Amino acid sequence: ERDSVSFVEANLEELDKLLLGSFDLIICFHNVIGMARNTPSVLSQLQRMLAPGGRALIMAPNKYHALLFLLEQGNRVELERVMVSGTVRFKQNMPEMFCYSPEEF
């Protein structure tokens, strides 16, 4: 049984550069995974960092939620972006982020 807690703040796209031990729990909140340009690689690296039996809790941007929100806002430009590239920008000053259906993720 482990009695320690470790917090690691890192760039998700540079996890392969970290020489860390294994973790029982990895938490990735606030849609951060949507900012990664190579999601499969990031997920692979997170899996590599899990201890046997470990769990990852990842909050990913949901494509269906994005579509509903954009429909309600009448934002046709962003609706098309989601449908064509799978990315979205909810505001002009925010970076483009990937959004996923549950099947895609």
Q: Give the model's confidence band at 5: pLDDT under 50 very low, under 70 low, under 90 confident, else very high.
A: confident
CB 63 within 8 Å of CB 102 = no
Contact 83, 52 (CB under 8 A): no
Calpha distance 48→93 (Å, rounded): 34
* Look-up of token digits 């989601």: 82
How many beta carbons lie within 10 A of that of residue 61, not counting itself? 22
Asked if pLDDT for residue 2 goes beyond 70, the answer is no
Q: How confident is the model at residue 81 (pLDDT cuts 50, 70, 90)?
A: very high
pLDDT, greater one: 40 or 20: 40
User: What is the pLDDT averaged over residues 48-74?
Assistant: 94
Global pTM?
A: 0.78
pLDDT at 22: 86
